[in-house]
Amino acid sequence: MKKTLSIAAVAFALAGTAAFAEPTGTFRQAHEYGFGAQSSLDPISKGRVFQITEKIMNRLVRPGLDGKPEADLATSWEANEDATVWTFKLRDGVSFHDGSGFDAADVVYSLNRVLDPDSDSPARSAVKMITAVEALDDMTVQITLDTPFADMPLQLMDYRLRMIPDGAGDDIATTGIGTGPFKVETFDAEGTTVLVANLDYWEGEPGVARMEVIGIPDGQARLQALLGGQIDMERGITAQQAPMLAGSDKFVMQEIPTGNWRGLVFRTDVEPFSDPRVRKAVRLAANRQELVNLILGGQGVVACDTPVEPNDQYRAAIDCPQDIEQAKALLAEAGYADGIEIDVHVATLEPTWPTLAVAYQEQAAAAGIKVNVVQAPTDGYWSEVWMKKDVAATRWNERPADQALHEIYLSTAKWNESYFKDEAFDAMLADARRELDFDKRKALYVDAQEYLWENAGTLIPYHVTRLVGVSSRVSNLDEVKNDAVRWHKITVAE
């Protein structure tokens, strides 16, 4: 039988909303519908529209404004002595959008659904160390791991690990039922998705009555929509576009350091990139600081081909100056003394990709690498170009170090976009997860990043300082990473 809220739970919800004003107004933003017909509201699917799921669903653990794990639907957690068993206490008095109460059965179902190999979810790599999820009682969940892992709460901050009702998997792609501050009124991935305020939200009534998430695939078109008042926020403003907003009192600009990155991925399973010498050569040809200055207007941090964000506790300190002579020597050693010619595929759905490709084209030429920039359609880029072409532009949102390294480079990872298969690297990650001593664990993660610098097939030139353009009619939009924004706090002036 489906759960219903108790009288006490209803009282809790009413008490939590008493101090909040009635939601008013509409907040509007865009999304790219990069997965086209595969776009959905299923948070663990490849086509999930995260600009929607982040507003309609909660996680057990979320990043706080300082980036550290913070209580969401779990209020507390603790591990056994060797960190192989974790116990999570759940938040009482929370209801789903369909009126059913949230409890341990929903957590067990949501996580087991991710773990099921048949679900084919890319989120599985974030939690595949879990061997069992059990309900100890209605408000307590026990998670058992196949290895000691001191950073388990970090994994549960994954933006896809949202809680859905027990048994809702067959319909969640279209219903989007969650516990979040907004609920789905209409879903149209290629048009306008309408969300309405969840007046029973456990943190209090949202500040706006309605949100619209509009499909706009092209970056320049999204800027024009912001300038024209069709949307209230664009989180992908480029350094070149920023001056168009800076001089107007109609907009404010947020500058948010992130672990998000843009880069070029070279498939390591095809020639010539199957040779690690060629892979390092094409990366040594890049002048990363020049790319930061040119593309980001200096608003970024050189990455040295590690996906681990600058502020992460496990970030490796690597020096990676451009080295044309070594790049030439490595190519010659690999049998390409006359250089190589490559096609780099990009699309304007990410506004900086074409600029990145052209800038790299000029830099790489000095090393005997001829780059042909191939413009691909924005529609279907993720399904027809990414992980299909030998060289393509890519981008990733930030993840904790362990998750980023596993999800992007582990041999068995679903989104191993460079097809990097390396047993030595896999072993480093496995050893790091088992190590309970922080300093030793950090050393292992650093070793793994240094190994990527020598062997990887992904050019990660920088981490992005995100420029967010916001209409001046919007208030209370947290100046933090997308993953930590408290969407229910936003208000808009009529």
Q: What is the pLDDT of residues 86-96, one digit of tens each?
A: 999 999 999 99
Residue 21 is classified by DSSP as P
| Residue 462, token pair as written in the block | 């920088």
Alpha carbons 58 and 48: distance in angstroms, whole number: 15
| Residue 319, token pair as written in the block | 């020096």
| Residue 194, token pair as written in the block | 């309408």
Handedness of CA 123, 129, 134, 136 (dihedral sign): negative
- Burial bucket for residue 192 (CB in 10 Å: 0-12, 13-18, 19+): middle
| Averaged pLDDT for residues 359-373 | 98
Residue 481 scores a pLDDT above 90:
no
388: Cβ–Cβ under 8 A, 6 or more apart, which residues? none
- For 23, the 3-state DSSP assignment is coil
pTM, whole model, 2 decimals?
0.74
Residue 11 scores a pLDDT above 60:
no
| Cβ contact 179:193 at 8 Å | no
Express each pLDDT in 302-316 by its tens digit: 999 999 999 888 999
Residue 22 is classified by DSSP as P
Side chain identity at 355, as an amino acid letter? Answer: T
User: Beta strand pairing status for 85-90 and 140-145?
Assistant: antiparallel
The neighbour count for residue 121, using CB atoms within 10 Å, is 22
The pLDDT of residue 342 is 97
- CA separation, residue 413 to residues 294, 303, 309, 398, 431 (Å): 33, 22, 20, 17, 17
Beta strand residue intervals within 130-187, DSSP E: 130-137, 140-145, 182-186
Alpha carbons 171 and 138: distance in angstroms, whole number: 24
The pLDDT of residue 36 is 75
